[in-house]
Amino acid sequence: MARFISRRWLIGLAGLGAFIAGTTATAATDGTLGLTSTGTTDISIIKGDTAQITGLVDMVMAPWTNGDPAPVDTSPACVYTSTGAYQVTPTSANGAGLQFRMADGLNFLVYDVSWNDGTGNSNLDNGQVLTGQAGSTVVGCGGGTNATVQVNVTVGNIASAPVGNYADTLTLLIAPE
């Protein structure tokens, strides 16, 4: 004898499935078409001072040979904080102590980093906090930028480095003050 599942039973199973799926959802979900439908949405808020850095671009320096000037490159940035003031902490993926370093797999090339929040350049040390910076209180800086990070390799450092393709990832941590 064949068993038939009632319409009420199917609706109950659909509702249970939607409930189970909704309790583990990590994003909004739409309900299914039926006599009833259940959708979910996650709700979140950040309480406290906030910060965001945007607009950075990769810095790819031109190939260097003896006799060339010191390699320098810059990246613009937009720094937003809800307070208007911030601190920046730079970290080199290949850094050692206070030094920023690029690596080619075997060798290292030391470089310098400076930060300008629009009031002047400040030399940075790897892993050290620079406080008292002025940021924008407008998310996205109104479509512009308000800071610059500059990377400089001295002629002495690059001239003494073995031939290679050097690279690093510079992380800039922004925190409201």
Quick one: 105 and 128 in the same domain?
yes
> What's the sign of the alpha-carbon dihedral 16, 21, 27, 29?
negative
Q: What is the pLDDT of residues 15-71, one digit of tens each?
A: 434 444 444 446 788 888 989 998 889 888 878 999 999 999 999 999 999 999 999
Map residue 20 onto helix, strand or coil: helix
**What does the pLDDT average to over 99-127?**
97
Quick one: 140 and 59 in the same domain?
yes
Domain count across the chain: 2
**Rounded Cα–Cα distance for residues 145 and 131 (Å):** 19
- The chain-wide mean pLDDT, for the chain, equals 87
> Nearest to residue 92, comparing CAs of 69, 124, 137?
124
Quick one: 33 and 68 in the same domain?
no
Quick one: 116 and 165 in the same domain?
yes
Quick one: 33 and 120 in the same domain?
no
Name the residue range of residue 13's domain. 1-44
pLDDT of residue 6: 40
120: CATH:
2.60.40.2040
**Which residue is listed with tokens 């906090």?**
129
Quick one: 61 and 27 in the same domain?
no
> Nearest to residue 173, comparing CAs of 137, 133, 140, 138?
133
pLDDT of residue 177: 96
For 34-43, 93-102, 123-132, 159-168, which range has the lowest pLDDT when averaged over its residues? 34-43
pLDDT of residue 26: 65
Quick one: 36 and 85 in the same domain?
no
Quick one: 37 and 84 in the same domain?
no
Q: What is the pLDDT of residues 10-24, one digit of tens each?
A: 334 344 344 444 444
Query: Helix count (H) and strand count (E) of the chain?
Result: 2, 9
For 14-23, 58-67, 126-135, 156-165, which range has the lowest pLDDT when averaged over its residues? 14-23
**What does the pLDDT average to over 98-115?**
97
Q: Which two tokens stand for residue 142?
A: 């109104």
**Rounded Cα–Cα distance for residues 114 and 123 (Å):** 4
Quick one: 162 and 142 in the same domain?
yes
